[in-house]
Structure formats: structure tokens, C-alpha cells
Amino acid sequence: MNSNTPKEPPQEQRRANWLGSRVKVLTTEVTGLIISREKQKQMFATSLYRNALYLVINNLAGPLTSFLFWIIVARFYSTSAVGLASAVASIVTLLGLFSTFGFEFGLIRYLANAGHNANSMVNTSLTLGSIVAIIFSCIFLTGVSIWSPALAPLRQSTIYFIIFVIFTVVTTVTILMGNAFVAQRRAHFTMINNLTSSVLELIMVLLFILFLRSFRGIFFAMVFSGAITLIISMRFFLPKILPGFRPVPIISRSVVREMIHFSFTNYIANAVWSFTIYVLPIMVINALGIQANAYFFISWTVGGVLGTISLATTTSLFAEGSFDEKKMVSDIWRCLKLTCIILIPIAVIVFLLADKLLLLFGTAYSLEGTGLLRIMCIAALPLALNSIYMSILRIQKKSIALILLTVFIAIVTLVVSYFLVPRVGIIGTGFGWLISQGVLAIFVLSRLVKLKKQDNLQ
């Protein structure tokens, strides 16, 4: 062999060179999308981009309108009424998420290819979700004096009891219906639906100030706005994506058999993820006290908004991959580009202005929570990569792998936080979250590289 023949670089170097070239291409394409109007028009013409942008707007507008709602409520209603109403809103949201039983994921995965069975699939999901919501809400209210004595008034009044159950059902059905829109690649209906509910909520709570300035005014505003929006969506929006749709309480055995395994395993994965989020405040309270948990909650909530961006883009990826799995690899690249365009600038701005943003809540929040918020900004980047891979697993129906990933995140986050929080304060939760997401992102990156190479060989 000629000694002058250049040696082939080792595999690690080839992989690094390939990754570097892809990052360069990604940077060039992202820059082009930002400065070119023509490319922006082309991007919006692509269903993956279009639906993702609608979901991003929805996920960012939701916290903003909620913030306005609670500002109004805090100014015109008593502290006790605000405390009771906010607790009810949190409980109902949690019960609604649990009541879907994972069928929100099943709808995205199967509805696009359901054909003539689509209406039956939606009605079955809505019916089962409503039944579970009724059961869960009744169980909660029956034992409310045990796990939440402060909410005992809900059980003492028959009207409150009934409306609480209705509120839980409405929340559950709204979640399922929103994912039906996403499954049919019509996410703008999800955005319109949620924005309509938020605007009605603001209008109603202002009206109730005139003659019902108590907990009932806030409670009824939340329930009635959600119920009215749900009726509008079922009457006008669902028939547009499902011709001939009528809400009928049915349970199709064939639909249940087709969706139950995928839905339930994703339900478990989502429950593990939610468990991690809800355990951290308890950990902070036990180690540092209630005041520290207030600083943690605000910083974590503000930082969590960044996570909703990747949630929106990867949900759109999940819907597109379920519609046509053959385009999955190219859709992954598009999803990554869009996430970078939106997430990186916002994360940088929030990182630089973290202390100023938290000053809106008070000087103490800025002093105590800035470090945690900045770590959340850094963690948003590996979180986006991991969210993309989780959508890939959902598309490929690899539910067990999905559960294992969420369990890994839960264990690492909670273990690291458990040891660090008593020693370094609330910033320890940020380190736990960053380490779990960062380590997993290294693994995910290697899998995405392998997936891209396999696609190039085909």
C-alpha cells in the first residue's frame, strides 16, 4: 500500500465531522428562515410547521391570559376566595389529565388513518374520558376531607359538588378534543378553542364582580367559560375535521382494542413525568420550608414555559409521523429547525433577563430564584432534543422504551435534587433537571445520528 495514501479517520472523528456538518447546515437554514420572507411563506405552507406554530402560540398565550385572569381575581376578590379557586383549578386540571387515560395520545397516533371509523374513535374517547372523569371527581370529593380539608366546602354543597364534576368532565373532553384537532393537522382549532375559553373567562369574572364577588364568581367563570367553548367546538369545529360528526355517547370495542395498549402505556409515561414535577415542590417544602417553595414555584413555572415550546413542535411531529411515517426522518429535521428558531432566542433572552423578569413578582423572588430560572433556560435545549426522541418512540409505538426514558428522568432528577436541595437550596432542583435531561440528550443524539444514517442508506 502506498505510504502517501491518506488514512481514513477513525469512526469517532467521522461521526464528529458528520455532526459538525449537520450543525453548520442547520445554522445556515435557520438563519435563512429568519431573514427570508419567501422561506417563511414556504415554512407556513408545511403542515408540520403550521400546526407547530399554532401550538406554540397556544402554549405561550395560555400562561399570559391565565396571568391576566389571576391578576384581576387577586385585585377584586378576597384572598381566601383566590386561594380556594386556584386550588380547585389545579386539582381539576390534574384530574382531567389523569381522566384521559392516555387516549389523547391514542387519538394522535390512530385518528389520521381511521377512515370511516374516525367519528366512532373520537366519540369512544370522549365517552370513556367523561366516565373516568366522573368517577375520579366523585372519588376526590368523597375523600376531600382526608387529602385536602381546605376544599371541604365543595362537598358540603350539592351545587358545588355537581359543578365540580361537570368542570372535570369539561376539562377532560377539552384535552381529548384538542388532540383530535392536532391529529387531523388542524391545530389552529386547538388555539382558537383555548383562546376563546380564556377570553370568556376574563369577561365572565369581570361581570361576576358586579354581583357575585366571592369564590362562586371565580368558580362559575372558570366552569361556564370552559363549557360554552366546548359546546362551540363540538358544534362548529369538530364537524369541520370530521364530516358528519355528532357527539354520541358510545363505546366501540374495536376502537378500545386498537387504542388501549398504546394509550395506556403512554398514560403511564405521562404519569411518571407528572409525578416528577409534582414531587419536587414537596421535596422543597420538606427541606427548606413554604417560603422557599414560593420562590421555587415561580422560577420553575416561568422556566417551564420554555418547555411548552418543544412540547408544541414535537406534538406536531408526532401528528405528522402518525399520518405518514415514511416522512419521519425529514420531519425530524424540520422539527429541530423550527424548535431552534423559536426556542434558542427566547431562552437566551430569558437567561439574560432572568433577574429582571422575576422582579415582577418581588425583590425576594429575583434574589432567590434567578439561578434556578437560568438553569431551566439551559436545560430547555436538551429537553427539546429529548422531546423529539419521545415523539419518535410514540410514532414507532415503542411505548416501553418511552416509559423507561421517563423513569430515568424521574429517578435522576429526584435523586440529585434530594441530595442537593438541603445543601444548595432550590437551585438543586435545577441541577437535577439539567443533569437528567443532559445525560439523556447525549444518548438521544447518538440515536438520531444512527437514524439519519439508516435513512441515507435506504
Structure confidence at residue 41 (pLDDT): 58
Would you say 316 and 179 are in contact if contact means Cβ atoms under 8 Å apart?
no
| Number of residues written out for the chain | 458
Backbone angles phi, psi at 386, to 5 degrees: -65, -35
Enter the DSSP assignment of 148: -
User: What totals of helices (H) and strands (E) does the chain contain, helices first?
Assistant: 19, 0
Tell me the domain boundaries of the chain.
Answer: 49-251, 266-458
Structure confidence at residue 258 (pLDDT): 84
Would you say 117 and 106 are in contact if contact means Cβ atoms under 8 Å apart?
no
**Amino acid letter, 190:** T
Measured between alpha carbons, how far is 400 from 407 in angstroms, rounded to an integer? 11
Measured between alpha carbons, how far is 413 from 432 in angstroms, rounded to an integer? 4
CA neighbor of 269 nearest in space, from 398, 456, 359: 398
pTM value? 0.72
Structure confidence at residue 83 (pLDDT): 66
Over residues 79-133, the pLDDT tens digits come to: 677 767 777 777 888 888 889 888 888 888 888 777 788 889 989 999 999 999 9
Measured between alpha carbons, how far is 318 from 159 in angstroms, rounded to an integer? 40
Structure confidence at residue 132 (pLDDT): 93
CA neighbor of 304 nearest in space, from 413, 203, 379: 379
Collapsing DSSP states into helix, strand and coil, what is residue 3?
Answer: coil
Measured between alpha carbons, how far is 192 from 431 in angstroms, rounded to an integer? 37
Question: DSSP assignment of 359-373, as one string?
Answer: HTT-HHHHHHHHHHH
CA neighbor of 284 nearest in space, from 274, 294, 269: 294
Measured between alpha carbons, how far is 332 from 349 in angstroms, rounded to an integer? 26
Query: Which regions of the chain are under pLDDT 70?
Result: 1-49, 51, 59, 67, 70-71, 74, 79, 83, 147-148, 150, 212-213, 290, 325, 452-458
Backbone angles phi, psi at 11, to 5 degrees: -60, -40
What are the cell numbers at 426? 432550590
Structure confidence at residue 23 (pLDDT): 55
Measured between alpha carbons, how far is 63 from 60 in angstroms, rounded to an integer? 6
Structure confidence at residue 30 (pLDDT): 54
Distances (CA, A) of 356 to 11, 198, 209, 362, 363: 46, 27, 32, 10, 9
Burial of residue 149, with CB atoms counted within 10 A of its CB: 0-12 exposed, 13-18 middle, 19 or more buried: exposed
Per the rule left: phi > 0, alpha: psi between -120 and 50, beta: everything else, 76 is alpha
Per the rule left: phi > 0, alpha: psi between -120 and 50, beta: everything else, 397 is left
